[in-house]
Amino acid sequence: MIENAGFEDIRRGLEFTKQSEFAKATRRIVYNFSEINIEERGHFHVDVMSGIGSGLIVYQNFRFFLLTAKHNLKQLYPLELRNESPIWVPKDHPPNWDDMLDFFMARRIWYVGELIDYERSSFDPQDVVLVEFFFPMKPMSLPQQFINVGTSDYFLDKDSFFEKQILMCSGFPAKYNFYDNLDERSEFTQSTMFNLDHKVGLFIRDEHDGFVSFSDEMNITHEELNGMSGGPVYSVFHDDSEVRLAGISLSGGGSKLRFLPAYVFHDAVISYKNARCEVVDEASYLADENERPDEMLRMYCDMENKDEHFRRRLGLC
């Protein structure tokens, strides 16, 4: 939001920003494991899903990723308990699926935070990762909402922050996104919710870059924010021209939220191939040789009759 904005501009900005590309590209992370591996069972199966955490679907180099906080990955099951595809993220918002192929499935994790040379006592500047996804495995399934981080146009630079700037924080708090264990006789073993929440606050500068402050009347406790870690913090405006990524949430409570500024991790995200990489699904080794994601995207766009604007967002024209 521009400085000294009037009430009507603020109202319009808040209404629009809750429906902006940043809000719609916010996702919840799901972790899963199986008690029996695929070799013994004979087919892929998920026995239990669990976990909380948020992130932002981003795109670059003809690939889709989840930008999120590294500490969210502490919920990833130990190697001996993981199934063959341990991290899932819904492709669309709101979630709409017929089968498991309507989820993004994690391929590998890029520890881009390790490329960041920045020190702060109030938060960990290295607490950021990119989770790379496999390419969508069926036609007509390209995601509609994502942020192309291959350009700096979507990032709020350091000089663009100002005191009491209105910022929106989006994510999936655990208290609104719990799991239910279903009756063993049911076809399904679990159910869960995907409730996206937004918190609006003011940017306050301090000796550690700054934080988001919420009014005392909102009573924003840790419980209200738990699960929003990794979700985007972004500026408010009444159209897409000025909505920018300010950072990702790291921790919160006591009417404030700490976030990792986008200007700290932007270069690392762009240079992700220089970061340490961990393969989380061994099928990734099968997909590397002679891979042409740009050609796959062109084929999918042709099949889905995507217009020039969408193709331009993917860097295909």
DSSP string, 254-291: TTEEEEEEHHHHHHHHHTGGGSEEEESSTTHHHH-TT-
The model's pLDDT over 145-176, given as tens digits with 9 standing for 90+, comes to 999 998 767 899 999 999 999 999 999 999 99
What's the structural domain count of the chain?
A: 1
Spans of the chain, pLDDT less than 70: 1-7, 36-39, 42-45, 77, 79-83, 97-98, 139, 152, 181-189, 240, 287-290
> What's the domain range around 102?
7-313
**94: preceding bond cis by omega (within 30 degrees):** yes
For position 155, which CATH number holds? Answer: 2.40.10.120
pLDDT value of position 293: 87
pLDDT value of position 33: 75
Which one-letter DSSP state was computed for residue 314? T
State phi, psi for 240 to the nearest 5 degrees: -70, -10
- Look at residue 76 and tell me if it is in a domain: yes
pLDDT value of position 120: 80
- Look at residue 243 and tell me if it is in a domain: yes
- Look at residue 142 and tell me if it is in a domain: yes
Q: What is the DSSP code string of 25-49?
A: TEEE-EEEE-SS-HHHHSS----EE
- Look at residue 1 and tell me if it is in a domain: no
Is residue 290 a contact partner of residue 127, using CB atoms and an 8 Å limit?
no
In the three-class reduction of DSSP (H, G, I as helix; E, B as strand; rest coil), residue 79 is classed as coil
CA distance 83 to 35: 8
Q: Which strand (E) or helix (H) includes residue 234? A: strand 232-235
- Residue 234: count of CB within 10 angstroms of its CB: 28
In the three-class reduction of DSSP (H, G, I as helix; E, B as strand; rest coil), residue 14 is classed as helix
CA distance 259 to 239: 24
Pairing mode, if any, of strands 232-235 and 166-171?
A: antiparallel
pLDDT value of position 240: 67
**293: preceding bond cis by omega (within 30 degrees):** no
Of 255, 200, 191, the residue nearest 223 (C-alpha): 255
- Look at residue 159 and tell me if it is in a domain: yes
The model's pLDDT over 3-37, given as tens digits with 9 standing for 90+, comes to 666 667 777 888 888 889 999 999 999 888 777 66
CA distance 65 to 94: 18
Q: Which strand (E) or helix (H) includes residue 251? A: strand 245-253
Is residue 38 a contact partner of residue 85, using CB atoms and an 8 Å limit?
no
Is residue 51 a contact partner of residue 73, using CB atoms and an 8 Å limit?
no
